[in-house]
């Protein structure tokens, strides 16, 4: 009888220990993807911008200054999201870029999340592809 009691105790302990563990699956990152747009530029025809937000919170940002020779720049780094504000932090120099998540895409913003809301606001958007 003691043998069966010991097996029952071991079985119940195993269920209590291992049965309470839940498998964790990685959460899908809804903002991950490729974003494109041409942003306004004071002294060129526009800044063709391609932004890759990866699911591992890394990014790649390519900025091509249209009409300017040899004016293509790339940055890589990590990003965070807080209150619908994406902060890109470049690995090389720590420079930060800010984008606000909107229904239309990602809008360039300041670090408080303020975006352009005038009639040209669509010019400051990167759209998900």
- The whole-angstrom separation of Cα 82 and Cα 84 is 5
Burial class (CB in 10 A: 0-12, 13-18, 19+), 64: middle
- The whole-angstrom separation of Cα 57 and Cα 43 is 32
**Predicted pLDDT of residue 2:** 52
Enter the CATH code of domain 33-128.
Answer: 2.40.128.640
Per-residue model confidence as pLDDT tens digits over 53-79: 999 999 999 999 999 999 999 999 999
- The whole-angstrom separation of Cα 89 and Cα 97 is 7
Q: CA dist 41 to 38, 44, 47, 61, 73, Å? A: 9, 5, 6, 17, 15
Per-residue model confidence as pLDDT tens digits over 72-99: 999 999 999 999 999 999 999 999 999 9
Question: Band of the pLDDT at 3, cuts 50, 70, 90?
Answer: low
Between 119 and 109, the more confident residue is: 109
Report the sign of the C-alpha dihedral through residues 60, 35, 108, 45, in that order: positive
Q: H or E segment at 5?
A: helix 2-18
């Amino acid at each position: 009888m003691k043998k069966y009691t010991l097996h029952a105790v071991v079985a119940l302990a195993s269920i209590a220990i291992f049965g309470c563990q839940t498998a964790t699956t990685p959460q899908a990152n809804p903002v991950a993807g490729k974003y494109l747009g041409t942003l306004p530029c004071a002294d060129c025809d526009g800044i063709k911008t391609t932004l890759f937000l990866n699911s591992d919170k890394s990014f790649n940002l390519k900025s091509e200054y249209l009409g300017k020779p040899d004016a293509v720049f790339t940055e890589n780094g990590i990003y965070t999201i807080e209150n619908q504000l994406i902060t890109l932090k470049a690995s090389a120099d720590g420079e930060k870029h800010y984008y606000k998540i909107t229904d239309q895409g990602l809008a360039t913003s300041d670090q408080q999340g303020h975006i352009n809301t005038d009639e040209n606001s669509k010019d400051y958007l990167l759209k998900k592809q």
